[in-house]
Amino acid sequence: MTVFTEGRHPAEFVLSEGDKNFSRDNLKIAASQTIVPGSVLGKRAVVADLVAAASADAGNTASSGTIAMDATPVTSKAKDGRYVGVASAATKVDWADPDGNPIGVSTHGALFNKGGIRFTITAGGTPNVVGDTFYVDIAADAGDFEYGAHDPAATDGLEVAAALALYPATTGVGESAKISGITRHSEVNGKTLTWKTGIVAADLANGIQALAARGIIVR
């Protein structure tokens, strides 16, 4: 007797979501992906599409450090919005990403390459003082980011669970596709989600926590 296996149905994993599609966004699926309804997705920036600008706060100590983006200013881990750096010493600046998460400490005269941004602060004639502030602003829209299957071993942004696919999509080399996905404020059935094959318990727990940080609660 022939045995048929029923696949996942679009949106079957959704237990509750915001009114009027509040929990949903249109997602650009990256190349070489096989996505099914309920696939856990990571998110990465399309580097060539982002615009980055660096600046020092107008209230900083006169003639102190200046900031300039690197020739390669961003990586695929970059986030849309403002990165903020606050001086903790004359040549040290503590940085946070647009979500307020600490990403590292820059040292004047050395390339900073963390959190998706790359820049150098050059010391001026007067040392910076504690509280002097620097900014990196990333200008992007939804089309400047792409999604792919969540992979804890990735290093390009897909290692962080960020969304859930509502519909299937298969893309070849150099291809992309657009589908709808859950990106915020919802409750979902964990038994009908699709994670990377063989995912270990620690990575699964981290993925569930990352979704929760976006308001996606796995039941």
- The angle formed by the CA atoms of residues 185, 101 and 150, to the nearest 5 degrees, is 55
| Mean pLDDT across the chain | 96
Check residue 45 and give its pLDDT: 96
What are the distances in angstroms from CA 210 to CA 82, 91, 215?
A: 21, 33, 9
pLDDT band for 179, please (50, 70, 90 cuts). Answer: very high
pLDDT in tens, 114-172: 999 999 999 999 999 999 999 999 998 878 999 999 999 999 999 999 999 999 999 99
Tokens encoding 75: 């990586």
Q: Tokens 């992906």 map to which residue? A: 33
7 pLDDT exceeds 80? no
pLDDT band for 8, please (50, 70, 90 cuts). Answer: confident
List domains and CATH numbers for the chain. 14-46+145-218 (2.40.300.10), 51-139 (no CATH)
pLDDT in tens, 16-56: 999 989 999 999 999 999 999 999 999 999 999 999 999 99
pLDDT in tens, 71-117: 999 999 999 999 999 999 999 999 999 999 999 999 999 999 999 99
Tokens encoding 16: 């509750």
Q: Percent of the chain, pLDDT > 70?
A: 99
Q: Tokens 């996942």 map to which residue? A: 8
Check residue 4 and give its pLDDT: 67
